[in-house]
Structure 1
Amino acid sequence: MSTLYVVSPPLEIFEGLKPEVRQHIVMLPDFLRYPSGRFKGITRSLLAGRIPLPKRILYYWFPKKYFDRIIHAEAGDAILIYEACNVRVLRAIRPYLPEGVPCYIYYCNPVGTTFRRPAEELQAIRALGYRLTSFDPCEAERYGMACTGQYFRYPEHQPDNIDSDCFFCGLPKDRAGTLQRLRTRLEAEGLTCDFVIPRTPAEKLTYPQYLDRLARTRCVIDISQKGQTGLTRRPLEALFYGKKLLTDNPEIVRYDFYRPQNVFILGKDPEEQLRAFIESPLAEVPESVRAAYDVNEWIRHYLPVSNNKSRKNLQLCDL
């Protein structure tokens, strides 16, 4: 039975995989990340990817029980690594990855926030034989990656009560001023806001806590990072939880779930209609549209072909 080995998946979303899909997937922690321990970190920085290294050295940095799972993958299997960005680490492990087993890397954040020199570093990773994929169609086209888009999962349950009109949770990044002005505008309309903008680890919500707050609001707020055009996960969270969406991403109109009754685009739609928009009923979105963004469909981009006769082609996105 062919297997997809997934390194560092979002576990809360992968819990939505159906049993018939889940049986073909092995989920591994982020064992390629920078190691704990000063000596391990120094030695890896000095040696990894600079010279060929025996496995016994790599086992010092990468836990053997996890590293062995991917290097012992068999013909017909596949490997998927989330957000791998250290070129020298990828170079160090590449000789041990089995020939004929495709190894994909999925970038679920803008590559400009992941790499200092995106074009140069992505090209170096591609030259090593990794297959690069992205959530962002524009970045995929720009850097020659395949686009597999964004995805989510069906909620297990939803609370009956609503506690807020508008909800945002995220790090301030380069959008703190925008968020503050938006909150002021919404509250001026008499709308209640639940904004969580953590500045310390203690202020952060766990993902289940985040989803519980989101489930108790009428409208999800989505403010993209500078230069981002691909979907964050918030539009899909709004879609699956049946919430309105307030976003600054004009590219949202290109997606098949877009309905002007459900999605308000900042800078395009009239701000004087904000309250009316949030208080109006949702337009129906066909279940077939929603299902296309489910994790069970998305993972088919990477599942070994023997397990996935209807596998989607990995191509540049054309929304």
Structure 2
Amino acid sequence: MKKSLRTLHEHTALPGKNIWYEDWKQGLAKYDTVIIFDGIRGGDVVEYIHEHNPKARIIIYYVNKFRRSARNNPQNFKALPCELWSFDQGDCAREGMKHNVFCYDHVFLDARNKEAFEASRLSKVTAYDAFFIGVDKSRLDRLLALQQLLCQQNYTTKFILRKAARGSYANLSPQAKEILVDQDIVYSEIINYISQSKCIVELQDPGQSGLTLRAMEALFFRKKLLTDNPEIRNCEFYRQENIFIWGQDEERRLADFLHTPYQEVPAEVSLRYTWEAWLDRFFAGAM
């Protein structure tokens, strides 16, 4: 009931939305900078923070693509006292936002994930040539096509695609049924799959150009990456031996790609994609 009332209130012009804010609203005056992720539903949060701390720097950071019809459309915040930043360079160019590549925080900020990460570094088990996990954002057909390509060359795959909330899944093929799931998988289990795989697969959302979590995992787990993102060639960690760009690289190179050793990336490069480096870039200029 409480959740329904909150949702109803969010979608009206009625004042007083701060009654739903949690403990973060306490002690706002002591902060110099407030960073809000793109799950924000409306400008009332920005207005509330500014009212209680007019000197605070307010940053809205987009870690996902947005829909024009969504309430977090950057255009809805342009007149408010806040800065707009995004992980996606294309969105930055189109919307006049500032760019800051996202970081890999899933291990370092969670004790259970960190434990699984450390265990994965000791594991020598390889069960899969290619591993993918993600949400079905127009990915099913592409994923099935990639699975067919890999299986034809006798590579083993572990593909997990969570159904979209409003997706239609009638008349599915046996292959589609095998990879589709209804529920999320805890990240510590995802780490186990990564540790048992030679290569991580990345399929981007249509129109996306920013680095995704999959690319970060490949970097920090020292795994190869099979991606459909051609822009990754411009990244400082790009190595032809480590990254195969599906749709651009010749398919006959897959064998060499999957069977040759991973080429180490200097530690100073990986460090630029940590939580601390991401935070520093807000104060020292975007990457």
TM-score, normalised to structure 1, is 0.74
Q: Identity over the aligned pairs, expressed in percent?
A: 27
Q: Could you say which residue in structure 1 is the equivalent of 2:234?
A: 254
Deviation of 1:94 (Å): 4.7
Contact 2:46 2:58 in 1 (8 A): no
What is the DSSP-based 3-state SS (H/G/I as helix, E as strand, rest coil) of the residue aligned with 1:47? coil
Using the TM superposition, give the Cα deviation of residue 285 of structure 1 relative to its aligned residue in structure 2, in angstroms.
Answer: 1.2
Q: CA deviation at 1:95?
A: 4.8
Spell out the pairing of 1:47-196 with structure 2 (5 A cutoff).
Answer: 47-48=13-14, 53=15, 57-63=16-22, 65-69=23-27, 72-74=28-30, 77-90=32-45, 93-112=48-67, 115-116=68-69, 121-153=73-105, 155-158=117-120, 159-196=123-160
CA root-mean-square deviation: 2.4
* Counterpart contact for 2:63–2:86, Cα < 8 Å: yes
Residue of structure 1 in register with 2:206 after alignment = 226
Alignment of 1:191-210 (within 5 A): 191-199=155-163, 202-210=182-190
8 Å CA contact 2:209–2:231 kept in 1: the answer is yes
Instruction: Rate the CA distance shift 1:36–1:254 in 2: closer, same or farther, 3 A.
Output: farther
TM-score, normalisation: structure 2: 0.82
Unmatched tracts of structure 1, length 5 or more: 1-34, 303-310
Residue 213 to residue 239, structure 1, CA distance change in 2 (3 Å)? same
Helix, strand or coil for the counterpart of 1:39?
helix
CA contact (8 A) 1:84 1:105 kept: no
Letter in 1 for 2:285: N
| 2:29 partner letter | A
The structure whose RCO (Cα within 8 Å, separation 6+) is larger is: 1
Offset at 1:59? 4.3
- Once the 2 structures are TM-superposed, how far is the Cα of residue 68 of structure 1 from its aligned partner? 2.0
State the partner residue of 1:43: 9
Q: Distance in 2 between matches of 1:255 and 1:88?
A: 34
Structure 1 residue 47: Cα displacement: 3.2
Kindly provide the CA deviation profile for residues 155-204 of structure 1, in whole angstroms up to 9, marking residues without a partner as x: 43422211111000011211110000100110111110000112287532
- Following superposition, the deviation at residue 129 of structure 1 comes to 1.0
AA at the equivalent of 1:268: Q
Kept in 1: contact 2:60–2:82 (CA 8 A) = yes
Structure 1 moving runs of 4+ over 6 Å: none
How far apart are the structure 1 equivalents of 2:244 and 2:2?
A: 44
2:167 matched residue in structure 1: none
The total of aligned residue pairs comes to: 259
Residue 143 and residue 104 in structure 1: after superposition, are their counterparts in 2 closer, same or farther (change >3 A)?
Answer: same
Question: Aligned pair 1:274/2:254, yes or no?
Answer: yes
Task: Classify 1:217/1:92 alpha carbon distance in 2 versus 1 (closer, same or farther; 3 Å).
Answer: same
2:2 and 2:152 mapped to 1: Cα distance? Answer: 48
* Partners of 1:164 and 1:194 within 8 A in 2: yes
Structure 2: which amino acid aligns with 1:174?
A: S
My pick for the range that moved more, 167-176 or 191-200, is 191-200
State how far apart, in whole Å, the 2-side matches of 1:45 and 1:92 are: 17
* Deviation at residue 91 of structure 1 after TM alignment: 5.7
